[in-house]
Amino acid sequence: MTIAPEAPAHQAPKFLELEITGRCQLTCPSLCYAKAGPTEGHGSMTADDWKNLISEAATIGVKKVQFIGGEPTMHPQFEALVRRALGVGLDVQVYSNLYRVRLEHWDLFTHPKVSLATSYYSDAPEEHERVTGRKGSHAATRANIVQAVQRGIPLQVGIVEVFDGQRTAEAREELLALGVHTVNVDRVRSVGRGEVHVPTTADLCGRCADGRAAVMTDGAVTPCVLGRFLKTGNAKQGLASVFGGKEWADTAASIPRRTAPTAGCTPDDSNDCDPANTEACDPAYEYAPSPTPSLGGTA
């Protein structure tokens, strides 16, 4: 049965992903939807641009922001941006690879309105490092997962299945044994370095733009980090202008919807359909055989 596209309510999202940098210590040669790496930059959004955006987000009804990248802690104004978000009353999640954590950042992460999210690919170091492209990343990330649990910091961990035979089940059991309460498993999406075909709206879960949006390093506003090929305006023109505009409404309406979420795909979850941060949400084309064509190009 074909499900006709239906736009979400015409209002600002409650959850906003802020992709503040493309820089990362890891390369993730077969996975990273942002194509991040050690030589990538922070984009054209200045620290003042981000601060103004965060303040506006709070005034238009956003409740929670997620700092993501790349590795968000590598942005030179990372701490100042988090404190701006906290200062205007927003909840904050930091999506970090937990490869390196500064002492002052641990102090920041223990704030009652801050939570952490990370990725972990296998209990076997060689498998985890096959995904990240960085030797030593397994031991470092695992140690910092343990540290976060010991410090009582809310933490959720996503496991992305990248290759056949990957020890995802064993990784999940290990994380639960370490005291991580939220562990989700997903698979690679056709976005960024995981791209196996030109992404279209048919690849999306059917919940993008439904209470959430993302802002890229150049200010481009998209329905989510996985819908980055869909441009709906630029945050530099003002978030209220973007979310109140025809381009946002038309793009939201173009995404194949589903009448009800599948198990583990909850539109009100602040991290729904993030491949490294939640249960798999099957692409909507599995429920809508005739999806609406993409409005954008490649990621």
Query: Would you write out the chain's pLDDT as a tens digit for each of its 299 residues?
Result: 334 444 444 578 999 999 999 999 998 877 776 677 888 899 999 999 999 999 999 999 999 999 999 999 999 999 999 999 999 999 999 999 999 999 999 999 999 999 999 999 999 999 999 999 999 999 999 999 999 999 999 999 999 888 899 999 999 999 999 999 999 988 776 555 545 456 667 666 667 777 899 999 999 999 988 788 888 999 999 999 999 999 999 988 888 775 554 444 543 333 444 443 444 455 444 433 322 222 222 22
**70 and 43 in contact (C-beta within 8 Å)?**
no
Q: Which H/E stretch holds residue 150?
A: helix 137-150
Residues 6+ apart with CB under 8 A from 193: 28, 29, 30, 31, 32, 33, 35
Residue 187's beta-bridge partner residues? Answer: 161
Residues 92, 93, 96: CA angle, nearest 5 degrees: 140
Helices and strands, counts by H and E, the chain: 8, 8
The pTM of this model reads 0.82
Tokens of residue 59, six digits = 């005034």
Q: Do 255 and 284 meet the contact criterion of CB atoms below 8 Å apart?
A: yes
Cβ neighbours, 10 Å, residue 136 = 11
DSSP conformation class of 73:
G
Domains and CATH numbers, the chain: 15-286 (3.20.20.70)
